Amino acid sequence: MSQAPATSLQDIISHAKEYGFVFPSSEIYDGLQAVYDYGQTGVELKNNLKTVWWKAMTQLHDNIVGIDAAIFMHPLTWKASGHVDGFNDPMIDNKDSKKRYRADQLLEGKAEEYREAGQPDKAQELLNEMGRLLGAEDLAGVRDLIIAEGIKCPVSGTANWTDVRQFNLMFSTQVGSVAEDASQIYLRPETAQGIFVNFLNVQKSGRMKVPFGIAQIGKAFRNEIVARQFTFRMREFEQMEMQFFVRPGSEMEWYNTWKEARMKFHKAIGLPAESLQYHDHEKLAHYANAAVDIEYKFPFGFREIEGIHSRTDFDLRNHQELSKKKQQYFDSEINQNYIPYVVETSVGADRLFLATFCNAYTRETVGEGEGQKERVYLKFHPALAPVKAAVLPLVKKDGLAEKAQSIAQLLKSSFRTVYDDNAAIGKRYTRQDLIGTPYCIAVDYQTMEDDTVTIRHRDSMEQERVHINELKDKIGYEVAMERILEAI
Ligand code: ATP
């Protein structure tokens, strides 16, 4: 058995579409850029990822509870959070190709070129200069730097650039049916603010004591200038965020705790240690006093899947100021009132999906000589797989089909099981491999005699013979979310 060549993003996109994981949105109209739909297998994988995250946060921690806040929020929320004034990306257009780019990404790309050419100092110098110019909001300086570095548009090949302009990433819309009464609101660009504005509601109604956390899974929307790399950068996506409210002064301790806990989570769901790394932020967001990304090695390089941020009391303090409602907590242990500090963990469900999918995609050559062939399968952790077991009668006649159907029926209430009697059994195994089903149960003539079946294991392709009565416990044990939660 040998490993086939490296997987490209195109392999991933094609496989995801062909086997019902991810489709381009409204594809019959040629799609909508950076918007995707999850298909019949994809939604199961994504739901499993969301469930395991939710359980890891709420079920494993006595002091973390969940909420589900609305996407629409009072417009002042986004003033307080800094998004109205500061949630911008610097963009630049090439006048010849009419293509739009993020100015910082063009410069980062150049720095990457320097690094690849063995000039890491030059790369760092460029990034520092870019950081300085962006920090000082010197957009003309950013444009000059792009020109001085000789950066050209990859489409037109020219350096005929427009000015650099700030572009706000929030989508806005109107609420109210009558034009005069309508007011502008935003589609939330992050789920976190739904948690901040409910901080006191949850604290009081749940009698929560600091330190405590609030977790949430929900959609977020960003009008990304350059949307590419499949579900890595979408305009509509889903976040899984947890805001952890702590006593001021203890935030660095909690920051380090969560930094480690979150890395452990990613390893527990099956992402290998060598494909994960931390990346400390050099330039901190306006609200943070420490920030780190957890990056996964995608086919296009190491990229962020999760951010862990120490957000100070920035959000609650600003909400207090704008709403004129106190956002304080009375800490009876130290007899003090304060606005809690916040450590946040924020992971994109879609990026986690993509990381899990890329990691699972396995291509290998099996067999010897003439019989050699390529085999593709998805090696998901059994608890994450869209389908846990497939029951396959060897042939349809002689009562085998009915027997297999009754076994599938028996297992369905415990875990997701499918029945398939279409085509040769080898083809049916392959079909299940391609969607990552960890167990295939074959029903043959011996089954009719002694109620035993074979279980074929996806990764090793090994088969074992077991009694029908053992199936529920045996497979149920392997596919339970508990297996992941125990490893966190
Ligand atoms: P990036 O630098 O890649 O734009 P970010 O630092 O702006 O990401 P955060 O604001 O920290 O991202 O959001 C937290 C998480 O939400 C990210 O780690 C990512 O998993 C997810 N996320 C953010 N933007 C997108 C997007 N456009 N598409 C898919 N997921 C996203």
Is residue 304 lining ligand 1, measured as CB closer than 6 Å?
yes
Distance 239 CA to ligand 1 centre (A): 8
Distance 230 CA to ligand 1 centre (A): 13
d(CA 360, CA 345): 24
d(CA 6, CA 9): 10
Is residue 347 lining ligand 1, measured as CB closer than 6 Å?
yes
Which pair of structure tokens corresponds to residue 59? 């079920």
Is residue 311 lining ligand 1, measured as CB closer than 6 Å?
no
| Whole-number Cα distances in Å, 435 to 311, 377, 386, 391, 431 | 40, 7, 7, 15, 7
Question: What average pLDDT does this structure show over 299-326?
Answer: 96
d(CA 319, CA 81): 8
Q: Whose CA is nearest to atom 31 of ligand 1?
A: 348
Give the bridge partners for 191, in sequence order. Answer: none
pTM value? 0.92
Distance 222 CA to ligand 1 centre (A): 9
Question: What average pLDDT does this structure show over 157-183?
Answer: 85
pLDDT band at 171 (very low <50, low <70, confident <90, very high): very high
Is residue 236 lining ligand 1, measured as CB closer than 6 Å?
no
Which pair of structure tokens corresponds to residue 292? 């780190």
pLDDT digits (tens, 9 = 90+) for 58-110: 999 999 999 999 999 999 999 999 999 888 889 999 999 999 999 998 999 99
Question: What average pLDDT does this structure show over 119-146?
Answer: 92
Output the pLDDT for position 51: 98
Residue 277: other Cβ atoms inside 10 A: 13
- What would the DSSP string read from start to end of 382-412? TTT-S-SEEEEESSSTTTHHHHHHHHHHHHH
Output the pLDDT for position 343: 98
Question: What average pLDDT does this structure show over 165-180?
Answer: 84
Single-letter residue type at 52: V
| Helix runs in 19-138, H state only | 42-54, 76-80, 83-86, 103-116, 120-135
d(CA 111, CA 282): 15
* 161, 100 contact by CB (below 8 A): no
pLDDT band at 55 (very low <50, low <70, confident <90, very high): very high
Distance 75 CA to ligand 1 centre (A): 22
Output the pLDDT for position 3: 54
- What would the DSSP string read from start to end of 437-474? -SEEEEE-HHHHHHSEEEEEETTT--EEEEEHHHHHHH
pLDDT digits (tens, 9 = 90+) for 200-218: 999 999 999 999 999 999 9
pLDDT digits (tens, 9 = 90+) for 447-460: 999 999 999 999 99
pLDDT digits (tens, 9 = 90+) for 466-480: 999 999 999 999 999
Output the pLDDT for position 368: 84
Report domain 381-485's class: alpha beta
Output the pLDDT for position 180: 63
Q: Omega before 211 cis (within 30°)?
A: yes
Q: Whose CA is nearest to atom 19 of ligand 1?
A: 348
3-state secondary structure of 306: strand
3-state secondary structure of 416: coil
Would you say residue 136 has pLDDT above 90?
no
Output the pLDDT for position 268: 98
Q: Where are the domains of the chain?
A: 2-73+189-357, 97-159, 381-485
Output the pLDDT for position 271: 98
Quote the percentage of the chain above a pLDDT of 70. 97
Pick the atom of ligand 1 nearest to 234's CA.
Answer: 28
Is residue 307 lining ligand 1, measured as CB closer than 6 Å?
yes
Output the pLDDT for position 391: 98
From 281, 295, 346, the mutation candidate for ligand 1 (largest count of ligand atoms within 8 A of CB) is: 346
Task: Identify the top-confidence range among 50-64, 118-132, 273-287.
Answer: 50-64
Distance 336 CA to ligand 1 centre (A): 36
Distance 105 CA to ligand 1 centre (A): 15
More confident site: 176 or 5: 176
List the CATH code of the domain at 2-73+189-357: 3.30.930.10
Is residue 294 lining ligand 1, measured as CB closer than 6 Å?
no
Distance 175 CA to ligand 1 centre (A): 27
Contacts of 168 by beta carbon, 8 Å cutoff, 6+ apart: 84, 87, 88, 223
Is residue 388 lining ligand 1, measured as CB closer than 6 Å?
no
From 239, 280, 300, the mutation candidate for ligand 1 (largest count of ligand atoms within 8 A of CB) is: 239
Distance 348 CA to ligand 1 centre (A): 6
Contacts of 373 by beta carbon, 8 Å cutoff, 6+ apart: 365, 366, 367
Q: Whose CA is nearest to atom 22 of ligand 1?
A: 348
Q: Which of 47, 309, 75 is nearest to 189 (CA)?
A: 75
Is residue 224 lining ligand 1, measured as CB closer than 6 Å?
yes
Output the pLDDT for position 181: 61
d(CA 224, CA 230): 13
Q: Mean pLDDT of all residues in the chain?
A: 94
Output the pLDDT for position 175: 86
* 458, 433 contact by CB (below 8 A): yes
Q: Whose CA is nearest to atom 30 of ligand 1?
A: 348
Question: What average pLDDT does this structure show over 185-195?
Answer: 96
Of the candidate ranges 43-47, 51-55, 223-227, 265-269, the one whose mean pLDDT is the lowest: 223-227
pLDDT digits (tens, 9 = 90+) for 416-436: 999 999 999 999 999 999 999
69-80 b/e (C-beta count within 10 Å ≥ 16 → b): beeebeeebbeb
More confident site: 286 or 440: 440
Is residue 350 lining ligand 1, measured as CB closer than 6 Å?
yes
From 304, 352, 353, the mutation candidate for ligand 1 (largest count of ligand atoms within 8 A of CB) is: 304
* 296, 6 contact by CB (below 8 A): no
Is residue 306 lining ligand 1, measured as CB closer than 6 Å?
yes
* 447, 400 contact by CB (below 8 A): yes
Pick the atom of ligand 1 nearest to 351's CA.
Answer: 20
Would you say residue 182 has pLDDT above 80?
no
pLDDT band at 281 (very low <50, low <70, confident <90, very high): confident
* 61, 213 contact by CB (below 8 A): yes
Q: Which of 372, 374, 392, 406 is nearest to 437 (CA)?
A: 392
Single-letter residue type at 119: Q
From 351, 354, 356, 357, the mutation candidate for ligand 1 (largest count of ligand atoms within 8 A of CB) is: 351
Would you say residue 2 has pLDDT above 80?
no
Output the pLDDT for position 178: 64
Q: Whose CA is nearest to atom 24 of ligand 1?
A: 233
Would you say residue 229 has pLDDT above 70?
yes
